[in-house]
Structure 1
Amino acid sequence: MSTALRSVTVKFHQAMFEQIKMIAEKRGESISDTIRYLIKRGLDERIYEENADLLATVVRTQIELVMDSYAVFSTYGNTDHPRKVTAKIFDSRITLCRSFKNTDKVS
């Protein structure tokens, strides 16, 4: 173990301790290593959740840029305002995707 680790005393309820012990046995490591692993996973997940909105904004912007490049065709019927057209198309596709997901059908 690294000497840079700090010692902390933590008390767990019996049920939680048993779960941690079981995870440690399955992973083949010490309870201390398992607790560090679980805390790291929890912190990583929290960081991901906090950045999910930012990632969604970036992805949406990139998709809009790609769709804007195709919005110059007359088939859209509104070539004067391609951003409005792509926003409608994008929102429609998202709505279709979400409604399909909510039906729990497998294709």
Structure 2
Amino acid sequence: MQEVDLIKALANDRRLAILRWLKEPQAHFSPQVDGDLVEDGVCAVLIAEKLGISQATLSEHMRILVQAGLLRPKRIKQWIFYKRDEERMAALATLIAGL
């Protein structure tokens, strides 16, 4: 993905909120029945509820963040869980600092 596409992925308040929440998932989400908040990530249903949006709308935001390499999806049963890719986030910080 090109740098401009990575920056575009961040150009949305909801996507920025998702990235902030997933940095410290235990502080922003209740424990889940399936999957550990830190090890497995946060269930998409919980993220959609917190944002007050439909799961279809959330899916588009998550698709953009996953394509940018900022999130990693993981399937557990019928659910998708999302976790930040901290290496990619560090590379992003370096990119932004270099601008």
TM-score normalized with structure 1 length: 0.25
More strand by share: 2
From the CA coordinates, give the structure whose radius of gyration is larger: 1
The structure whose RCO (Cα within 8 Å, separation 6+) is larger is 2
Structure ranking higher in helix proportion: 1
